[in-house]
Amino acid sequence: MPATVAVGTQFGDEGKGKIIDFLADRADVVVRFQGGANAGHTVQVGEDLYAFHLLPSGVLRKRTMNLIGNGVVIEPGQLLKEIDETRERGHPVKNLRISDRAHVVMPYHKILDALEEKLKGNLGAGTTLRGIGPVFEDKVGRFGIRMCDLIDPETLRAKLRAIVPIKQRLIEAYGGDERLDAEAIFAEYAAHGERLAPFVIDTSAWLDSALRRGKRILFEGAQGTHLCIDHGVYPFGTSSDCVAGAASVGAGVGPQFLTDILGVAKAFTSRVGAGPFPTELEGPIAEHLRERGGGEYGTTTRRPRRVGWIDLVMLRMSVRVNGLTALALTKLDVLGGLDRVRACVAYRSDGETVKEFPASMRLLSQCGPVYRDFKGWPEFSEGDWIGIAERGRRALPETTRKFVAFIESQLKIPVRIVSVGRSRAATIGR
């Protein structure tokens, strides 16, 4: 049975939460496979808004099972908070399972995240301070604590006794004055482990049997291709692999199941955090995009997002490194009311045309955009857009359709879903 992978194609915040919620309607299982509480997925149900960091976006649908795979790093206190808050809002959250192999974010990871960011100066990515870099450092360095350790008090205590003194020395060497208390950390985290234990299973084995029974699986990417540790704007991205192939590693399924690979792209570009951004805008158009965007402010950090025109150089690379088979284009409504809409088709650097996204941040920062201009489309209210969505693609204003068709021709993949508002109804699916 083929599975769908939905991944971000830009710098995260493409509207994946909404698209995944839309697709989850037809999925039996939703799986997170990378990232951690640095992610922020916004889902709207009726008038209610939910912002999830660790919970998979299918958790509000009772018949959908939600897995947190081994590739995710879990901050247990944050996950429990999300579970509790979602329960208080009337959802029982019985449809959740967590991989026994997922790594755990510990308090010293967050301390080290802040210290490392400070010491890095201009190399700092402007992280979410969720301890993401340090927890992945520990995973690769084999200092990590996994969910199977968190729910096993004896192992947890033994590991903390070995690891905490090392982290204390690191904190001091980095100039930090925080004092770690291994016993206090043990007590707090063993309690988290006890509460989370009923959810912890071998998710890879569970998925294998679901696939064999013909269940429809949806893999939910977090962040985006250009934040990927391997393919992103290194060192200004995140510490996990954010591309479609990571679903295989981060959930423990064979790559042959990943046949339907949907990239989510916003009709413009945004990013939170540092790093070169060739199509970045300032001034009234940037304000328009930020404010109409329903508040382009980081879901996790509330920082104002940097915004710019859609960048097809970035997106062409995303098509390639993910093997995208289709695109979901979001927030087309946000461009409404602008006289002119632009799409970057190439870069210019030193009098040369640059068609491939550079690896070097020095070279990327020298790249200026080459734009194709489009006539804009009128601004409609949310209700108008829902009316258009109900009538389907052909009801979109002609100028909008031209813009979408141009993106399809440049990327050589179909735009399968168009989103024109936050709600489930403001979605045109094919």
* Residues assigned a catalytic role: 13, 41
User: Using CB distances below 5 to 8 A depending on partner kind, what does residue 289 bind out of ligand IMP, Mg ion, none?
Assistant: none
Q: Could you tell me which residues are beta bridge partners of residue 44?
A: 49
Q: Could you tell me which residues are beta bridge partners of residue 374?
A: 341
Q: Is residue 130 part of the contact set for ligand IMP (CB under 6 A)?
A: yes
Q: Is residue 9 part of the contact set for ligand IMP (CB under 6 A)?
A: no
Q: Is residue 225 part of the contact set for ligand IMP (CB under 6 A)?
A: no
Of 15, 40, 252, 336, the one binding ligand IMP (CB under 6 A) is: 40
Of 12, 15, 278, 369, the one binding ligand IMP (CB under 6 A) is: 12
Give residues with Cβ within 8 angstroms of 47, minimum separation 6: none
Q: Is residue 34 part of the contact set for ligand IMP (CB under 6 A)?
A: no
Of 125, 217, 253, 326, the one binding ligand IMP (CB under 6 A) is: 125
User: Using CB distances below 5 to 8 A depending on partner kind, what does residue 130 bind out of Mg ion, ligand IMP, none?
Assistant: ligand IMP
Q: Is residue 126 part of the contact set for ligand IMP (CB under 6 A)?
A: yes
Q: Which is nearer to ligand IMP, 43 or 160 (CB)?
A: 43
Using an 8 Å Cβ cutoff, are 146 and 219 in contact?
Answer: no
Using an 8 Å Cβ cutoff, are 382 and 426 in contact?
Answer: yes
Rounded CA-CA distance 169/174 in Å is 9
Using an 8 Å Cβ cutoff, are 424 and 44 in contact?
Answer: yes
With CB under 6 A as the contact rule, which of the stretches 154-162, 230-238, 251-259, 414-422 interacts with ligand IMP?
230-238
Phi first, then psi: what are they for 55, rounded to 5°?
-65, 135
- DSSP state, residue 297: B
What are the b/e assignments for 331-355, b being 16+ CB within 10 Å?
bbbbbbebeebbbbbbbebeeeebe
Q: Which is nearer to Mg ion, 291 or 356 (CB)?
A: 291
- List of residues contacting Mg ion (CB under 5 A): 13, 40, 299
Rounded CA-CA distance 217/28 in Å is 6
Chain residues 131-160 in contact with ligand IMP, contact rule CB under 6 A: 132-133
Catalog residues that contact ligand IMP under the rule CB under 6 A.
11-13, 38-40, 125-128, 130, 132-133, 222-223, 227, 236-239, 272-274
